Chains A and B, each alone.
Chain A
Amino acid sequence: MLLGVGITFVAFCLTNIVPGDPAAANLGQRAIEDPAAVAAFRHHYGLDKPLPEQYGIYLWHIVHGDLGQSEQNHDAVTHDLGQFIPATAELALLSIFVAVVVGVGLGVIAAVRRNKLTDHVLRVVSLGGVSMPTFWIALVGLYVFFFRLNWLPGTGRLDPVVSPPPHLTGLFTVDALAAGQWSTFWNAFQHLVLPSLVLAASNIGLLTRYTRSAVLEVISNDYVRSARAKGMPGHTVILRHVLRAALPTVITVIGLAFANVMTGAVLVENIFSWPGIGQYAYRSATTLDLPAIMGVSLFVAVVYITVNFIVDVLYGVIDPRIRLA
């Protein structure tokens, strides 16, 4: 909560201290030379009031679910966010799912095969994953799988000829399934594959590395030896005893992966023309659209806080010692 207020405050300060003039960025050349137009613009957006008052008004509006009006397209920021968030959510969730399955799996394999060839290869692969610039893999991926091989569609969420499924959650794949539109689902899914894989690359590397070290830390524990000594099969020991104990670390890193995905989304959505929050953030930042920037910041803060909260709750579910404390 405190963090949320803090973030609105920082976003607010940031957007006010900076020398860029939103009037200049949004009014166009002709209007900027007309002092009356500038004044009207400032008055309309409350920019002529003292700063603390502006901040107070802003907070008051947030509490009432009003994030203000975009200076670019004059839509309510909440409306814009509502429109763009599902697209990013669909991309991010699939990407994190892939990253968790692949990353945790590879991390466990690396730890079990410690110091063997597999382990060394996985080390290089995971370091490679975190070293690759997201925007570059996106470009290479598009070139190879879309332009050359034409296995996957190019940009956007759907082919231009396909109309979006009836709105339910805003996640096209889910909505298409709910409406029973199989071809729409397939189209939306194909469009998701490349961007979500690109977005997953660095998180796979991250998760592999942290899972490996978490598993290694656990695997030398006495209780793992106890499990072997009582005759538990090797894979059960790894999955039930070792991975269970390594889970708190893994979950912390999954939390980090969410932050990574937000960063990656800005770049990936840009390349794939994905109408999501990343593109919205980019557009608002480059046009200094203050209410929109604040809206995005607030959204990011909410995601951050929610993810942290879920992580904390999961700690308790996994570890009975925390549950009772």
Chain B
Amino acid sequence: MSAQAPAPPIRLRVWQRRRPVVGKAWRHPLAIVGLVLAGAWIVIAIFAPLIAPHDPLAQTASSFAHPGWHHLFGTDELGRDVLSRVLFGARLSIPLALLLVSLALLIGGTLGAVAGYFGGILDTVVMRASDLVFAFPAIILAMVVTAALGPSVRNAVLALVIVSWPSYARVVRGLVLSTGDSEYVASARLLGSSARRALLREVLPNVLGPVLVLATLDLGNAVLLLSGLSFLGLGAQPPTPEWGAGVAEGTQYFQYWWIGTFPGIAIFTVVLAFNFLGDSLRDALDPQSSWSHGGDAE
């Protein structure tokens, strides 16, 4: 850059008042749709045994029954009710996605914070390790890990934790590095806040926002990857009702479209819900890339 300090160009945004971030996010239609969808699926996950019309494992009817009054989504090759299997699938995918993201957040966040705070060799090791994981397509690494450990839900989650911690490590490390010595923290200290208060009131919210966005978007990703592994036969094992496995079943008998279609729609809507939420949240936190607000610059 040149040594001259140019006067700042006009910024019309100066006159915009800042609104509380969360309030703004919830007012967005996408956020509302996301919230309703995600809420509905969580309710389904909790109350599946009460809502489901049939036992998801019971071979109650004839095989390959078309969707109809008795079986809204039809039945599969063993005569099991597809609707009930889809509803019960939520009990597996959603808690596992939450668990997976929490673990990745905990591990990645801790490693990232430690790396950013202490720097040096520790930093190098953590960052190189995350480079390595990044270089691998998530599903191939996860595939090898689950295949090696034996296909099961537990191992699928474990494998996905291994592939998903680095993004948290990077984000948290970057935020720790940048907020630690940023001007607003310094100014908060000058205004008399103690260091710990400064950390809690100024740094934490700024780390929390981006991490929250990442975690929300990652929930969708987790559902996708988990069901992908199950689709390949490396996650949930039969006869457990699982969405990815359901789609895989559909590929075996694909003239009976309902077997694979409905579990797929379930995955799609859950992932969409988390993506809508994460995206609205990101807008609210970062008005620069906002989809809904602004309109202040050509």
Contacts and interface: CB of A to CB of B under 8 A. Distances in A.
The answer to whether A and B touch directly, with their CB atoms under 8 angstroms apart, is yes
Q: Select the residue from B140, B220, B275, B297 with max chain A CB neighbours within 10 A.
A: B140
B193 interface: no
B73 interface: no
B104 interface: no
A133 B136 contact: no
Interface in B1-45: 9, 30
A296 B298 contact: no
Nearest to A266: B139
Contacts of A128: 268, 272
Interface stretch (A46-54, A118-126, A311-319): A118-126
B143 interface: yes
A281 B145 contact: no
B148 A127 contact: no
Interface string B127-171: 010011001111110011101111000000000000000000000
B135 A20 contact: no
B267 A271 contact: no
A219 B298 CA distance: 7
Interface string B259-275: 01101100110011001
Contacts of B291: 115, 119-120, 123
Interface string A281-315: 11001101000010011001100110000000000
A2 B147 CA distance: 27
B223 to A, nearest CB: 9
B268 A281 contact: no
Given A115-B295, A288-B147, A216 B289 contact: yes
B254 interface: yes
B144 A285 contact: yes
Interface string A263-290: 1001100110000000001100110100
Contact of B220 (A131, A143, A282): A131
A303 B260 CA distance: 33
Nearest to A281: B140
A186 interface: no
B251 interface: yes
B288 to A, nearest CB: 7
A140 interface: yes
Contacts of B9: 222
Given A266-B139, A281-B140, A147 B298 contact: no
A127 B276 contact: yes
A7 B140 CA distance: 13
B247 interface: yes
Interface in B271-298: 271-272, 275-276, 279, 288-289, 291-292, 294-295, 297-298
Interface residues of A, number: 59
Given A115-B292, A142-B254, A266-B232, A20 B128 contact: no
Contacts, number: 153
A18 B148 contact: yes
B228 A133 contact: yes
Nearest to B136: A300
B29 to A, nearest CB: 9
Contacts of A127: 30, 272, 275-276, 279
Tier of interface size on chain B? 35 or more
Contact of A267 (B132, B144, B228, B260): B228
Contacts of B137: 259-260, 262-263, 266, 300
B227 interface: yes
B135 A301 contact: yes
Interface in A52-92: none
B10 to A, nearest CB: 10
Nearest to B128: A6
Contacts of B143: 266, 281-282, 285-286
A81 B9 CA distance: 56
Contacts of B149: 18-20
Interface string A120-163: 10011001101111111001101100010000000000000000
Interface of B: 9, 30, 128, 131-132, 135-140, 143-145, 147-150, 220, 224, 227-228, 231-234, 244, 247-248, 250-251, 254-255, 257, 260-261, 263-264, 267-268, 271-272, 275-276, 279, 288-289, 291-292, 294-295, 297-298
30 contacts: A6-B131, A7-B136, A14-B144, A15-B148, A18-B148, A18-B149, A19-B148, A20-B147, A114-B295, A120-B291, A128-B272, A133-B227, A133-B264, A133-B268, A135-B251, A136-B264, A136-B268, A139-B247, A139-B254, A139-B260, A143-B254, A216-B289, A217-B289, A219-B297, A222-B9, A260-B137, A270-B232, A300-B136, A300-B137, A301-B135
